[in-house]
Structure formats: structure tokens, C-alpha cells
Amino acid sequence: MNNPKHSIIVPAYNTGNAIRQCIDSVLKQTYPNWELIIVDDGSKDNTSEIIDEYAKNDNRIKVFHIPNGGVSYARNVGLAAAQGEYVMFVDSDDWIELDYLQQVGNHMDDDADMYIVGITQDHEDNNGNIYYSEIKGTPVYRHISSVNLHSEIGYLLNTINMESSCLKSYRASFLQKHNIKFLKGMIVFEDFYFVLQCLYHQSSISLIPFIGYHYRMELDYNPVVRRGGDFYPSISNLFKMLDLMDMKLGLSSYSHEQVMRVMTAKISVVLNQSLYATKWADRVKPFKMIFSDVTIKARIKEILNISGGRFRLQYKLMSKGMFHLAYIICKYL
């Protein structure tokens, strides 16, 4: 049997109330040449039983049961097992349109390393009925060659959802050539880190004008806040990846400016963790980490030029060791 054209990787953790819709959306694809790899990341609900049931009835479905190691590890397990020419990721509480693979297939003459479609965020009531959907990006058709990619990164960051590893199909040989994987241990923005690696290595990209991915908003599986823990180590890795990519862009480019804006926005994510702390040591910790971050130190002049007055004031206080006052500014201004 020939290898499938597409490998669809689904990391699953305690989503027994949603995963059937996810799997069914793959089973009903109008394009038939695919495999579905579901990695059960140590679920404690009925997720394991559900996916085993599906795998028993369809040999295109491969199931792996692993001890809980986080979504990055689960996706890497899926990548290692994938046999398709292209791989894509779908979260187990999301789903895809039935012609998703066909839409990507219609653009295969572009011979791109990455295909990107649009996404909608679906808000559901307690009965599972969608009462509101918000489109978060409808790409205009565009093919960006690897040679021209770095001059287009600003456009991509500003107009397309690049922070999700989903809604994208990746050429497997491109990922393998550059050893692109998810960084184990990242608890936030692990998707963005993965995509940035692709941009760093100058993937060619085709944007497809099609809303093909549905992101379910209400379930506890999705929100960043559910993950807990300290965000800074993960975002520090993101800073480093942004910095590596940025060194290829040219300091005067629009793409460079957008990378700096992304970096500035992620600083706020770290600092806002202080708002959930109850001890003073934990409240000031994010400010100390940002102030001492090597990447931020190297870029601080540009970041301050982009930032609003609140962060400029906070940073001035941090530079004088007044981390408690920086926290108070964050909380009350």
C-alpha cells in the first residue's frame, strides 16, 4: 500500500465529550488518501475507549497511548509515526471542514512546504449548539516562495494566524530535513515556536482562501490559563526563536518591526501572570525575569519605542530595582 498523502495528527487529553466530532470530520473528508494518528496523552476520562473504538473499525486510524507528557510530546510522537507526504495537526476538541484536504489538494501544484487555511472560533452553549462564530483570518490566495519569505514575514504575522500549528499542512520532508519538532516542556506558545522554526528555515508558503478549521472556544482543553505553571521559561524560548529569525530579516524591514511587536506583546503575557499571584515574591518574579532576559536586554531600545507608556514606566522602575512599584502599575493602571 502506498504511503498516504496526508497524515493528520491529533493529540488527545480528556476530551471524550468532543473528540467524536473531531474524528468524524476526518472520516468524512472528500479527499480519501489520508491517515489519522491519535496520540492519547494519558487521558483519565473515556477518551481512550472512544479512540480505540474508532481504530478498531478503520485501519487508517492509528492510536498511541502514552503517559501524560504534554501536548508537545504527544505531537512529536505523532510526527515520528507519520507516513504521509504532508502532516497537519488538529486539536481533539476542534474539527475541520469536510473538504479541507481537497482544498489543500487543489493547490498542490504550488509545491509549497506549508499550506495555510482560515480559521473560525466557534462559541457553543451548554447543549453544544454554536451560537456565535468569529472568523479569525481568511487568507487571500498567495504563494510565497522560500526566496521571498523573509520579506513577507511581517505580512504573515500581521494578517494570518501564525501562532497556531493547526490550520496548516507541512511537507514532512521539510520538517525532517530541518529537524523541526515541538519543544518539550513549553507550556504556552509551543505552537508558535513550531511555526517560527518553519519560517526561520524559509519554508515556501501557499495561502488558501478557505475557512477550513473550527476552533472550539468553551471547553477547558483550550485556554492558556488552564495550564498553570510559570509562563516565562516557555516565552523566553519564544523570544530566542523570534530573535534568531529576526537576524535574517534586516533591521529596516517591515518584517523586523512586526517581529519586535510580537516580542513586545509576549512580554505583557509574562507580566500579567503577576495579577494571579498572592505572594509578593510571586508578584514581582515576572518583572525580574523580563528585566534580566538576555534577548529583551538586547532589543530593549526598540521594544520601548514600540511599547505604550505603561511599560516604559514599568521598565524605568525595574531598572531602579523598584519591582514592587512595577507590579502596582501593572495591576492598577
pLDDT 10s digits, 242-270: 999 999 887 778 999 999 999 999 999 99
3-state secondary structure 274-328: HHHCCCHHHHHHHHHHHHHCHHHHHHHHHHHHHCCHHHHHHHHHHHCCCHHHHHH
What is the per-residue pLDDT for 219? 52
What is the per-residue pLDDT for 320? 97
Q: What angle do CA 42, 43, 47 make, to 5 degrees?
A: 135
User: Pairing relation of β-strands 34-41 and 6-12?
Assistant: parallel
What is the per-residue pLDDT for 227? 56
**CB-based burial, 81-112: b 16+ in 10 Å, e otherwise:** ebebbbbbbbbbbbbbbbbbbebbbebeebeb
Chain segment 281-333, per-residue pLDDT in tens: 999 999 999 999 999 999 999 999 999 999 999 999 999 999 999 999 999 98
Mean pLDDT on 83-95 = 97
**Is residue 60 over pLDDT 70?**
yes
Chain segment 17-54, per-residue pLDDT in tens: 999 999 999 999 999 999 999 999 999 999 999 999 99
What is the per-residue pLDDT for 250? 77
CA 266/CA 311 separation, integer angstroms: 12
Report the candidate in 141, 106, 100, 105 with the shortest Cα–Cα distance to residue 120.
Answer: 100
Entry pTM: 0.94
What is the per-residue pLDDT for 221? 44
Helix extents (H) in the chain: 19-27, 47-57, 71-81, 100-105, 149-159, 172-177, 190-200, 232-246, 254-272, 280-292, 294-306, 309-319, 323-332
pLDDT-derived band at 228, boundaries 50, 70, 90: low
**Is residue 222 over pLDDT 60?**
no
CA 257/CA 118 separation, integer angstroms: 24
CA 11/CA 94 separation, integer angstroms: 11
What is the per-residue pLDDT for 218? 65
Give the type of residue at 236: S
Residue 115 DSSP SS3: strand
CA 139/CA 118 separation, integer angstroms: 6
What is the per-residue pLDDT for 195? 98
CA 294/CA 302 separation, integer angstroms: 14
Chain segment 149-207, per-residue pLDDT in tens: 999 999 999 989 999 999 999 999 999 999 999 998 899 999 999 999 999 999 999 99
Q: Which three cell numbers stand for residue 167?
A: 490550520
